[in-house]
Amino acid sequence: MWDYSETLKDHFYHPRNVGKIAEPSGKGDAGSLACGDALTLYIKVNDDGIIEDAKFQTFGCGSAIASASALTEMVIGKSVEEASRITNQDIADFLGGIPTEKMHCSVMGREALEAAIASYRGIETAPAQEGAVVCKCFGVTDREILRVARENRLATVDEVTNYTKAGGGCGNCKPQIEKLLAQLAAEQRAAEAKPARPKKMTVIEKIKLIEETLDREIRPGLRQDGGDIELIDVDGNRVIVALRGMCARCPSAEFTLAQFVETKLREFVDPDLVLEEAEE
């Protein structure tokens, strides 16, 4: 037996804002009767971009009704931009939680909201409708599976089914869902493997680190060929230097600065540094 919060039961037994808006600013559909859950959301936006009214019509279980009811309460009074940032987890939190097996109801609410906002903005296709269909039983796309899995940190096919219904019908799409989850896991591992971005430095700290890098990584190689380098100025991410000795007259000076000096400074100081040669 699923455990429903008191707030969820209240929105199921006493749903708010049920019905249609005669001339809505935007209308969004999510789910379908063939899939067992369907939701239509209407929003009315005033000249200041504020959602002044929202109503819904839905067919589905108690969690679907409660999620739609909660969503209308959440968006009324918000700007369209604020409403566009509402996630399915926000809807679940508003209701005091939704049983895991029913989280797809909150996802359906978020999809309907996105479709309504897209309609208001004159966009024909909402994000949830884009991508290639993976689950033909419930019409769930690869983009929707990846997005929901990212936002909710899903790692198994069963979790994806709870949040999107994908895989909950004939089951033929489960291998594809597993491939998408493997793809997502690989992306996450790659992101975690990236070196941490250096903390923001003061100008003095940056100059000191640049000088240390020049001394340790750059000058020894230049001096072997009778050359040297001098730091002239630092302006934000602009590092101005001058080549000295044999390097100043070398035909490969431009290559040395771009491929050797700038590369080293970006590696050891800041990846956003831009190297410039002083005009003398």
- Catalytic positions: 35, 105
Phi, psi dihedral angles at 101 (to 5 degrees): -65, -10
Find the helix packing angle between 142-152 and 174-193, rounded to 10°: 50
Cα–Cα distance measured from residue 185 to residue 168, given in angstroms and rounded to the nearest whole number: 22
Residue corresponding to tokens 């797809």:
104
Q: How far is CA 165 from CA 45, 60, 155, 172, in A?
A: 31, 13, 15, 13
